[in-house]
Structures are given as structure tokens and as C-alpha cells.
Chains A and B, each alone.
Chain A
């Protein structure tokens, strides 16, 4: 299901497989290609193979099968230190026995740069992350956010074209994380570097990336821009994994081009857009985002199908209302409505009718 697997990308995985024990594949037939300057995020639950992919790219793991190419050249047999890839580790991995400046000078030193050039680059990198005054400190004397910046500066100081980041914001608190997300994307775009970013935080993935590769079970489930991923998930895993999502089970009753009618398990029928269903009578999971549900069927077209629902809970959240309903046997059907003057505030026990535009509701595989 992965698309964009052309061989002319800056970074390319071609039919890559990885197994640790010779019995199970951790990465199954991975194909991926990314152009220069792209910010690509590998997103997925733990154990989905995303970190393994990153480690193979960095050179710390070897691919069991397939080829990894950097700028058109296979790097399978190139040791990590010759790949010239910058990397930011989850725990920052700042060398505790060196000062911040020495940490930053390290990659330049091993590249045998002169002292003055080294100092200048270190200074520039520190200024870039607004840590100019901290060169003499030890990593242990810095806060988590500061260490994060230094780790970033160290990965960038030798001007690599490709930078890998392995959950770099995982250890930060929420506010700092959001701030750093913004800084990292800005920096990446202004420097024009290519970034492969691994995370299991979907908000991070959506806000930072040009494209997101959703990993599960050793495969890329979908590779797309954040908005496409959110609005047009290709299968039920992606729909569930990205953002909040309501699902209902049913069978396809009829398919007419871009719309189909699904008969839910309690007998009601509703409109949906067929995504990966093809035959009438096929089992399907329909997926609808909470903010795309309409309480006012008059806004929909006349022949639209609607569902009966019972309000179980109404939560006032300031800018939005969050209503939990029972729809076709599902007690966790959530609807978000904007707090506008004409919006009705429901009471638990109330019976309502709801519907949606067929294009917002996607009929996906049954899993």
C-alpha cells in the first residue's frame, strides 16, 4: 500500500526486509522514497518496525534483504561513520565527560577540521539553537530542553544532508515539546535538510511533517501528507491510529461509483464512500470523524440516510461540545460540535437523529 516507491529519491528503501532471529520479520518488504529537503515522519505503535528502519538507515542494523540507497548509492555496506548522516537520539546521547562545546566539536574533530574553523562552526551551531552562552557547561548541568537543543546542534554542526531523529522529544514535558516541534521544523526548513523523524506521537507527526509514513506490523500502512492521512485514511488501522474516530460495523448493500450504502448490524442504513471495498455484501468498517457528524439532517441532501441515536453524555469543553451517543449498538460514538450560538445543548437520554455527507464517511476493510 506504500506509494512513492520510485528509485530516484534522495533516500530510498527498496524491498527491504529485516529479521533479528531468522524466524519473524520485523520489517516486511519496505519500499520508500523521499526527495531532498523533505521532512518525513515514521509513525507507529511500538514494535511496528519504525525504529528498526531508522537504525538500518543510520547503519547500526543491517538489512536482511533489499537495498537502502542514499543519493542513488547503495549504502548497505558502508559503516555508519562514513554515511555522514546526522542523528538525534532519544536520550540525546550527549557525551557526559565533554563540555557542550566539546560535544559539538567532536564530529568536526574526527573530520580533522582546523581549530579555528571548528570553533567558528561550533559557535554558529550554538547560536542557531540559541545556546550561545552554554558552550562551557557539561550536559548534566543543562535542563532537558537545553540538552535537546544541544543534541540537535551536534547532529547539524557537520552539515549533513540527512538528519535522523529517534523520538527526540519523548522526554520533554508537553509545553516544551510543542515549542521544540516548532523549532525543529523551522530549522529543518530553513536549512533545507532532509529529515527522517521517528515518533509514536501522532500530533507531533501531523504538525511537523511534510509526509507521514504510518507503520504497523512491519509495513507502511499509508504514506501521505498529514491532511490526506487524517481525512482520507486508506485502511481501518490508519483511521483508528490517526486522530479520534468513530467506527460502525456493517455490510455493503449497494455501491454506486463514489458512494455506497451500508447496512449496519442493527438494520439501519447509512451512506459512505467506498475506499477498499468492492463487492456488495462485503463486511466493512465505516469510519467517520467526530467533527463531521451533523445533528441537523436538513443540512444534508434530501435523500441522505440518517441514523437514530440516544445521547449518553454531554460534555462542555469551552470551544467545543463533546457529545457521547449510542448509535447502532456502539456506546462510544462521539460527536464534536462547535460552540456556536445556534448549537443545541443536549441532555442525556435525549433521542436525536444524525447523518453525514457520504464523502466524509469511509467504508474500509472489516478488520
Chain B
């Protein structure tokens, strides 16, 4: 207490500060600060602000929902497609399960169980018309699979028809809908169908409209024990007819695969004890199958008959490799790699394309950004330093192209740069270039860089201008009064202050350029196209959306990484779009 006068905290006696502190302390003694009505102040404040917050939220809600629905959701969906691969396991569930035990590296064909499963899967897929989609999907990984599946959709019927023909020769009823239904269905459901048929006939004779639905087919319980496989497949057929085709098993003869199943059941089972409907027909067929003359086909032969490629282990390996629900295959593809038994590996030299395209896209975007900086800086400088009238005129000249259609501007460059175009004509006329060796300035990188620099120039000028117009003229004057030459004053004082504008313009132009599509498509030829053109190709022509999504994801990641790097090096605070 010796230095009481110098330390305000040690002054005895009340100072205004101490009094406030004492008051605070007194209020804090009883726990949280209370509002006038006794509720804690924090709660009371939150309640008071809740309405405001809700109102603010309601105001932005329409835009938020719009952005979520039309922007975020499609992007998320697109990104999801880059790894999504459920089509294989959905279309070929049995095959995928059967292939699990198969060792792809053995170099041998998978066993009969796999062919059996594939027969069922592809047959059902073909009836559902899903086999071509799967073929297209697998074709991305192994060329030729698409046509293989298309052929198989038709060809698999041949296997069943071998049996169908023999059964039909034995008894015409095997090729009829109703006898089959009688063999497989419950008596009640068959009786219901007959009744319906009679009613329909009566109605037709009387000339009345008849729109009663056909009664449902019901599988008899004991037939599932006698002919288990046939019953299972027949049930599937009957359900498919009712649900998908709006038809009935009572009126359509079964799929050919049902005959294959029937053969298998008869081969393995004994029908002599069967005494249900159509017993003699079934027993006759059983006798036929047991006859050594009965013609059979192994499934493997059947598949070979359709296409020899089915005997290529590579096809089965591809199905096995791409059977998981999620795959890195699209991403590997997007970086010129592929899945091999030894894990991911680079593709052959002549099959690589995306790495080159990514590099080219980066290089050209940088070139475009750089030439935009060079061209835009003097213009922006003039804009911000000229008197109002001239600056406005110049501004209109800058904005005029901005208001012109992108296609028109790009096409104009085509007119300018082509070999019989304006620039070449002028050069030839001046004698600078011989008529025979006119310059190639379009359909290559040069053309793309020129056209895109022109198109993106306003995006560089405008941020630069808005930053430069905030730099007061007295800085340069001050620099000169301190002894700096015009150049030093510009370089040391003006330029550093205009850098944020360059930064903002560069980010804008670079990010726009890296995803640009129309201009490279029109003037890029083969050497001036961007990765975006490839993405568009996969979306609209090859329909390989997964690969397009993977390429898009990589592009997005590259942009984000560059943005992050830019922030680390230049600092995003140094980017100004104005003020």
C-alpha cells in the first residue's frame, strides 16, 4: 500500500471505476444476470432476437431453397455419380454372388454355377430391357461388352428353345399357356380364370363391353416341391406378366428359360408319384428327358453359341472387378489409369488422354489469364485516370463486346483467323506471308487463346478498374515530390496498390477459363480443346456420366486447391472487387 497513489486498483476510497466494478460484482453474486421480469438475461435476449432471426431466415429462404434445389443438389448428385456403380450388382445379383469364389488370375473360366447364374440374370434383365444399359456401363471398362450383352439378350432364348422344341414335339400342350397354368396353378385360380373367360365370351357375343380384370395366377404349393426350379421361374414369369406387361400367365406361354428349368427338374427328379393336374403330360415329359436321345445343351456351350467372347475370362474378370456398389474406376479412368489384377496401373502410352487434357487446360488457362492481365492493365489504368467523359466512352467500348453474344464473338474470330480470313488476307496482301504458306491461326491452341482472351477481357478490366479508381492520385504525386521518377512512382507506389485488382481479375478469369466450353469447342480444333469439352462429350455423346462426373470432380478439386494456394501465397484479403 505504499504506492497507493500510483496504482488505481489500490486506491482506498471509491473511484468511479471501483464503483462500477462493485456494482457488477453485486449482481453476479446471485448467479446469472436477470432481466426485469426475473428470467435470465441471456434467455430473454435470445427470445427477443428470435423473431428477428426467423424473419431474416424467412427472407432468404426462397433463394436458399432455390440454390439448394437447383445448384447444390445437382452438383452433389453429379459428384455421387462419379463413384456410384450399383447397376452391376442390381442387374446381375446372382452372377456377382457366384463370381465371388472365382479367382480371376487363374486364367480359367468360371464354373457352371456362374454360367447358371448369368443365364438367369441376363435372361431376366433382357426381359426387363436392362441388359443393354449394363452392357453400356461395362463397355467403358472393356470394349465389346456392350454388343456382347445386346446379342445375349436375344441369344439366350436359343438355349431354352432346344428343350421347348423337344417338349412341344412330344405334346403340343407344352407350347400352350393354359396347360402350363393348370400344371402350376391352384385349382381355384384356374377355375376363376375359366369363369372369367366364359364371361368374356358371353359379353363378346352379346356385343357388350367387358372390362373385368383377368384373375391373378396363384402358384400351387405342392408343385414347388415337385418342380422347385420350374415353379420359382414360372412364378417370376407370372408376376412379370401381370405387373410389367399387364397380361396374364393364363394367356401367354412361358419364357424359354422355364423350359430349361423344367428339363433340369425332370432330369433330377422322379415324376411317377405326381398325381396333380396334367400328371400324364408331365410324366410323359419325364420319360422323354430320361431317354438317352434327349438333346441337351450345357450352358457354357449355349453362351459360346451366342458369342465366343463369353469364353474369354477377361469378360468375367471385368464383371467381377466392377461388381461392388461403389467404384474408384471412373476416377482411375479420369487420370489415365485402370484397374488390373495387380491394382491400379497407368494405361498404355497411346491410351492416355486426360492427363494431357488437364495439363493443357491449366497451361492455356494460365496463358489466357496472363495475356488478359497484360492487355487489361493499361486499359483499366486509362479508365480510372481519364476525365469522366472519355472514361465513360472507353467504358462503353469495353462493355460493348460484353453485351454481344458469345457465339457471335467466337464466330467473328473464326472469320478473322482462318486461313482465308481477314488477317491472313491482309498479311498476304502486304507481302509478309506467301499465298501458299498462310498462317494456321485457328482450330489450334493459338486460336483458342486469342478468342478466349478477348472474351474474358472484361472480367479482368472491371475488377482492375474498380480497384484502381479507389487509388487517389495524391500517392503518385507524393512519390514524385519525394524524388521518384514517373516509373519509380508507378512501380513502387501505384502498382502495389493495384495488385488486389489484378488478383481479383486473375481469379475470375482463370476460374472462368478453366471450365470454358463453347469457345474451345468452336475454335479449338483438336489441339485447343479443354477438359470441359471432354466432359461435355461424355455427358452428351458417350453418355458415360460416371466418367464425366469424375472429371468434373477432379476439375473442381483442382480449382479449390489453386484457390487455397492463392490464399496462402497472395492472401484472399488482398483480392478486391472494388472499394
**Residues of chain A whose beta carbon lies under 8 Å from any beta carbon of chain B:** 58-60, 79-87, 89-91, 93, 95-97, 106-107, 110-111, 154-155, 158, 164
**With a CB–CB cut-off of 8 A, which chain B residues contact A91?**
472, 474
**Do A110 and B477 touch across chains, with their CB atoms under 8 A apart?**
no
Task: Write the chain B residue with the least CB distance to A166.
Answer: B474
**Do A107 and B472 touch across chains, with their CB atoms under 8 A apart?**
no
Q: Of residues A79, A107, A155, which shows the largest number of chain B Cβ atoms within 10 Å of its Cβ? A: A107
Q: Could you give 19 example pairs across A and B, Cβ below 8 Å?
A: A60-B480, A79-B480, A80-B480, A80-B481, A81-B481, A81-B483, A83-B481, A86-B482, A87-B482, A89-B474, A91-B472, A95-B478, A95-B479, A95-B496, A97-B496, A106-B479, A107-B482, A107-B483, A110-B484
8 additional A-B residue pairs with CB within 8 Å, beyond A80-B477, A89-B477: A59-B480, A84-B483, A87-B477, A87-B481, A90-B474, A93-B475, A106-B479, A110-B488
**Do B483 and A158 touch across chains, with their CB atoms under 8 A apart?**
yes
Q: Considering the chains assembled together, what is the distance between the CA atoms of A4 and B507 in angstroms?
A: 61
B147 at the interface (CB under 8 A from A): no
**With a CB–CB cut-off of 8 A, which chain B residues contact A83?**
481
B493 at the interface (CB under 8 A from A): yes
Task: Write the chain A residue with the least CB distance to B497.
Answer: A97
B420 at the interface (CB under 8 A from A): no
Q: Mark B484-498, 1 if CB is under 8 A from A, else 0.
A: 111011001100110
Interface residues on B, range: 10 to 19
Task: Write the chain A residue with the least CB distance to B492.
Answer: A106
Q: Considering the chains assembled together, what is the distance between the CA atoms of A168 and B131 in angstroms?
A: 84
In the complex, how many angstroms separate the beta carbon of B149 from the nearest chain A beta carbon? 66
**Do A154 and B474 touch across chains, with their CB atoms under 8 A apart?**
no
**Among B472, B484, B493, B496, contact of A81 (Cβ-Cβ < 8 Å):** B484
Given contacts A95-B493, A97-B496, A97-B497, contact A110 B482 (CB under 8 A): yes
Task: Write the chain A residue with the least CB distance to B477.
Answer: A60
Would you call the interface of chain B mostly helix, strand, loop, or mixed? helix
Q: Considering the chains assembled together, what is the distance between the CA atoms of A91 and B480 in angstroms?
A: 16
Q: Mark B525-549, 1 if CB is under 8 A from A, else 0.
A: 0000000000000000000000000
Given contacts A96-B497, A97-B496, contact A81 B485 (CB under 8 A): yes
Task: Write the chain B residue with the least CB distance to A94.
Answer: B478
**With a CB–CB cut-off of 8 A, which chain A residues contact B486?**
81
Q: Considering the chains assembled together, what is the distance between the CA atoms of A96 and B497 in angstroms?
A: 8
**With a CB–CB cut-off of 8 A, which chain B residues contact A154?**
482
Task: Write the chain A residue with the least CB distance to B499.
Answer: A97
**With a CB–CB cut-off of 8 A, which chain B residues contact A93?**
472, 474-475, 477-478
**With a CB–CB cut-off of 8 A, which chain A residues contact B474?**
89-91, 93
In the complex, how many angstroms separate the beta carbon of B557 from the nearest chain A beta carbon? 33
Task: Write the chain A residue with the least CB distance to B494.
Answer: A95
**Do B478 and A87 touch across chains, with their CB atoms under 8 A apart?**
yes
In the complex, how many angstroms separate the beta carbon of A57 from the nearest chain B beta carbon? 11
Q: Considering the chains assembled together, what is the distance between the CA atoms of A154 and B486 in angstroms?
A: 19
Q: Considering the chains assembled together, what is the distance between the CA atoms of A154 and B484 in angstroms?
A: 13
**Do B496 and A110 touch across chains, with their CB atoms under 8 A apart?**
no
**With a CB–CB cut-off of 8 A, which chain B residues contact A86?**
481-482
In the complex, how many angstroms separate the beta carbon of B344 from the nearest chain A beta carbon? 48
Task: Write the chain B residue with the least CB distance to A58.
Answer: B481
Task: Write the chain B residue with the least CB distance to A55.
Answer: B477
**With a CB–CB cut-off of 8 A, which chain B residues contact A111?**
483
**With a CB–CB cut-off of 8 A, which chain B residues contact A89?**
474, 477-478
**With a CB–CB cut-off of 8 A, which chain B residues contact A60?**
477, 480
For window 487-532 of chain B, which residues contact chain A by CB distance below 8 Å? 488-489, 492-493, 496-497
In the complex, how many angstroms separate the beta carbon of A210 from the nearest chain B beta carbon? 23
Q: Considering the chains assembled together, what is the distance between the CA atoms of A54 and B300 in angstroms?
A: 102
**With a CB–CB cut-off of 8 A, which chain B residues contact A95?**
475, 478-479, 493, 496-497
**Do B479 and A85 touch across chains, with their CB atoms under 8 A apart?**
no
Going nearest first, the 10 A-B pairs with the smallest beta carbon separation are A93-B478, A107-B482, A87-B481, A80-B480, A97-B496, A93-B474, A110-B484, A81-B480, A110-B483, A107-B483
Given contacts A91-B472, A95-B493, A97-B497, contact A106 B484 (CB under 8 A): yes
In the complex, how many angstroms separate the beta carbon of B143 from the nearest chain A beta carbon? 59
Task: Write the chain A residue with the least CB distance to B574.
Answer: A97
Q: Of residues A58, A86, A89, A95, which shows the largest number of chain B Cβ atoms within 10 Å of its Cβ? A: A95
Q: Considering the chains assembled together, what is the distance between the CA atoms of A90 and B473 in angstroms?
A: 12
**With a CB–CB cut-off of 8 A, which chain A residues contact B485?**
81, 110
Q: Considering the chains assembled together, what is the distance between the CA atoms of A87 and B481 in angstroms?
A: 6
In the complex, how many angstroms separate the beta carbon of A219 from the nearest chain B beta carbon? 26
**With a CB–CB cut-off of 8 A, which chain A residues contact B483?**
81-82, 84, 107, 110-111, 158
**With a CB–CB cut-off of 8 A, which chain A residues contact B478?**
87, 89, 93, 95
Task: Write the chain B residue with the least CB distance to A104.
Answer: B482
**With a CB–CB cut-off of 8 A, which chain A residues contact B489?**
81
In the complex, how many angstroms separate the beta carbon of A301 from the nearest chain B beta carbon? 56
Q: Considering the chains assembled together, what is the distance between the CA atoms of A87 and B477 in angstroms?
A: 9
For window 265-322 of chain B, which residues contact chain A by CB distance below 8 Å? none
Q: Considering the chains assembled together, what is the distance between the CA atoms of A142 and B479 in angstroms?
A: 20
**With a CB–CB cut-off of 8 A, which chain A residues contact B480?**
59-60, 79-81
Task: Write the chain B residue with the least CB distance to A85.
Answer: B481
In the complex, how many angstroms separate the beta carbon of A296 from the nearest chain B beta carbon? 49
Q: Considering the chains assembled together, what is the distance between the CA atoms of A232 and B475 in angstroms?
A: 41
Q: Considering the chains assembled together, what is the distance between the CA atoms of A91 and B472 in angstroms?
A: 10
Q: Considering the chains assembled together, what is the distance between the CA atoms of A155 and B488 in angstroms?
A: 17
In the complex, how many angstroms separate the beta carbon of A191 from the nearest chain B beta carbon? 17
**With a CB–CB cut-off of 8 A, which chain B residues contact A79?**
480
In the complex, how many angstroms separate the beta carbon of A282 from the nearest chain B beta carbon? 47
Q: Considering the chains assembled together, what is the distance between the CA atoms of A300 and B493 in angstroms?
A: 65
**With a CB–CB cut-off of 8 A, which chain B residues contact A96?**
497
Q: Mark B78-89, 1 if CB is under 8 A from A, else 0.
A: 000000000000
Q: Considering the chains assembled together, what is the distance between the CA atoms of A85 and B482 in angstroms?
A: 7
In the complex, how many angstroms separate the beta carbon of A86 from the nearest chain B beta carbon? 7
**With a CB–CB cut-off of 8 A, which chain B residues contact A106?**
479, 482, 484, 492
Q: Mark B20-33, 1 if CB is under 8 A from A, else 0.
A: 00000000000000
Q: Considering the chains assembled together, what is the distance between the CA atoms of A155 and B482 in angstroms?
A: 7
Q: Of residues B480, B482, B483, B486, which shows the largest number of chain A Cβ atoms within 10 Å of its Cβ? A: B482
Q: Considering the chains assembled together, what is the distance between the CA atoms of A84 and B475 in angstroms?
A: 17
Q: Of residues B472, B481, B485, which shows the largest number of chain A Cβ atoms within 10 Å of its Cβ? A: B481
Q: Considering the chains assembled together, what is the distance between the CA atoms of A87 and B478 in angstroms?
A: 7
**With a CB–CB cut-off of 8 A, which chain B residues contact A110?**
482-485, 488
